[in-house]
Structure 1
Amino acid sequence: MKSFRALVVLLTLGLWVAWLDAARWEVDLDQLLKTTAESEQEKLISRIVSAKPSWQEVSDYLRNLQFPEAETGKIHLRKTTCSDGVERSWILYVPTSYDPVHPTPLFVNLHGGVSRPEPIPDSEALEFMGDNLFKDLAEENGWLLLFPFGQEGATWWDEVGMSNINNLVRTVKREYNVDDDRVWLGGYSDGASAAFLYAMVFPTDYAAFIALSGHMGTGSLGGDLHTYAPNFYNTAVYAVTSFEDQLFPSAKMRPAIQMAREAGGDIFYREQEGEHDFSYAEEELPKIVHFLERHPRDPFPTRIIWESAVPWFGTCRWFAIDRISADPSASWHVDHNLVLTDDRITIGFRHDDTFPGPGIKVREIVEGTAAEQMGLAAGDVIIRGKKRKIKDMDDLMAYKAGLKRGDPIQLTVLRDGQKELLKGTLPPPTNYYLFKRERPSAMARVSFSANRVEIEGSRLGGFSVFVHPDMIRLERNLVVTVNGEEVFNRRVEPDIDFMLQNFLANRDRKLIYVAKIEVEI
Structure 2
Amino acid sequence: MLIVWASLPAWVCRAQSRVPALDSMGANMARENWKAAIHWALKAGEAIPSEKYWRYLNAADFASRDRNKELALHYAALVADSDIAVKARFGESFAWLKDDPQWQQLTRKIADRKEAERQAKIKSARVFRDEQKAMQAQTDAFAESLSQIGSAEALYKAIRQGRPPRQYPRGRNFVYGWTNLDGKIELPYLVQLPPGFDGSKAYPVVVVLHGAVAYQPETRDVPDSVDTFFGRFFMRMASESGFIAVFPYGTKTYNWMMPEDGFGLVPEVLRQVKRLFPVDDSRVYITGHSNGATGAFSYLMKQPSLFAGFSGINNRPQVRTGGTFFRNALNRSFYNVATDYDYYFPLEGHQGVTRLATQLGINWQNREILGKRTHGFLINDQSDESLQVYTQLFADMASKKRNPFRERLYWECEDTQNGRCDWLEITRLDTLANAQSWQTPVNVPVTGWRKVMNPAELIDSTSNAFQFPRRSGAVQATYAGNRFELTTSWVGKVKLFLSPEMIDFAKPLQVRINGKQVFASRVEMDKALMLSSYRRESDHQAVWAASLELAVP
1:204 aligns with 2:204: no
1:76 corresponding residue in structure 2: 175
| Cα distance, 1:477–1:99 mapped onto 2, change above 3 Å | same
1:333 maps to which of 429, 439, 448:
439
Higher RCO structure, 1 or 2 (CA under 8 Å, sep 6+):
2
Contact 2:274 2:538 survives alignment (8 Å): yes
Structure 1 unaligned regions, length at least 5? 1-29, 36-40, 347-396, 406-428
Q: Deviations over 1:157-201 (max 9, x none)?
A: 234432121111011100111000000000111111111111111
Contact 2:139 2:276 survives alignment (8 Å): no
Contact 2:345 2:449 survives alignment (8 Å): no
Measure, in 2, the Cα distance between the counterparts of 1:293 and 1:78. Answer: 25
1:67 corresponding residue in structure 2: 165
2:262 corresponding residue in structure 1: 161
Structure 1 position 264, deviation (Å): 3.3
Structure 2 unaligned regions, length at least 5? 1-135
2:387 corresponding residue in structure 1: 282
Measure, in 1, the Cα distance between the counterparts of 2:329 and 2:475. Answer: 14
Structure 1 position 244, deviation (Å): 1.2
Contact 2:335 2:393 survives alignment (8 Å): yes
Between Structure 1 and Structure 2, the one with more strand by share is: 1
Structure 1 position 458, deviation (Å): 1.9
Measure, in 2, the Cα distance between the counterparts of 1:245 and 1:439. Answer: 29
1:185 aligns with 2:283: no
Measure, in 2, the Cα distance between the counterparts of 1:144 and 1:452. Answer: 39
Q: Deviations over 1:70-92 (max 9, x none)?
A: 24551222333333733332100
2:252 corresponding residue in structure 1: 152
Measure, in 1, the Cα distance between the counterparts of 2:501 and 2:518. Answer: 22
Measure, in 1, the Cα distance between the counterparts of 2:495 and 2:200. Answer: 35
Structure 1 position 203, deviation (Å): 0.9
- Which amino acid is 2:246 matched to? L
Q: Secondary structure in 1 aligned to 2:211?
A: coil
- Which amino acid is 2:251 matched to? Q
2:358 corresponding residue in structure 1: 261
Structure 1 position 295, deviation (Å): 1.1
2:476 corresponding residue in structure 1: 445
Between Structure 1 and Structure 2, the one with more helix by share is: 2
Structure 1 position 283, deviation (Å): 2.1
Answer with 1 or 2: which has the greater Rg.
1
1:304-343 equivalent positions in 2, closer than 5 A: 304-325=409-430, 326-340=432-446
Structure 1 position 470, deviation (Å): 1.0
Measure, in 2, the Cα distance between the counterparts of 1:286 and 1:202. Answer: 26
Measure, in 2, the Cα distance between the counterparts of 1:183 and 1:305. Answer: 21
Q: Secondary structure in 2 aligned to 1:436?
A: coil
- Which amino acid is 2:491 matched to? L
Q: Secondary structure in 1 aligned to 2:357?
A: helix
1:236 corresponding residue in structure 2: 333
Structure 1 position 33, deviation (Å): 4.8
1:483 maps to which of 511, 514, 531:
514
Q: Secondary structure in 2 aligned to 1:286?
A: helix
Measure, in 2, the Cα distance between the counterparts of 1:193 and 1:139. Answer: 24
| Cα distance, 1:128–1:180 mapped onto 2, change above 3 Å | same
- Which amino acid is 1:288 matched to? L
Q: Secondary structure in 2 aligned to 1:494?
A: coil
Contact 2:283 2:308 survives alignment (8 Å): yes
Q: Secondary structure in 1 aligned to 2:225?
A: helix
Structure 1 position 478, deviation (Å): 0.9
1:173 maps to which of 261, 274, 293:
274
Measure, in 2, the Cα distance between the counterparts of 1:314 and 1:438. Answer: 17
Contact 1:324 1:440 survives alignment (8 Å): no
Measure, in 2, the Cα distance between the counterparts of 1:52 and 1:169. Answer: 27
1:494-513 equivalent positions in 2, closer than 5 A: 494-513=525-544
Measure, in 2, the Cα distance between the counterparts of 1:125 and 1:84. Answer: 26
Measure, in 1, the Cα distance between the counterparts of 2:536 and 2:158. Answer: 17
Measure, in 1, the Cα distance between the counterparts of 2:456 and 2:477. Answer: 48
| Cα distance, 1:206–1:74 mapped onto 2, change above 3 Å | same
Percentage of pairs with the same residue = 26
Contact 1:72 1:94 survives alignment (8 Å): no
Aligned residues: 404
1:96 aligns with 2:195: yes
Q: Deviations over 1:216-254 (max 9, x none)?
A: 11xx23xx2222000010111100111111222212332
- Which amino acid is 2:166 matched to? P
Contact 2:448 2:458 survives alignment (8 Å): no
Measure, in 1, the Cα distance between the counterparts of 2:303 and 2:189. Answer: 20
Q: Deviations over 1:261-317 (max 9, x none)?
A: 333322111111111120453222221222122211112111111111211111111
1:138 aligns with 2:238: yes
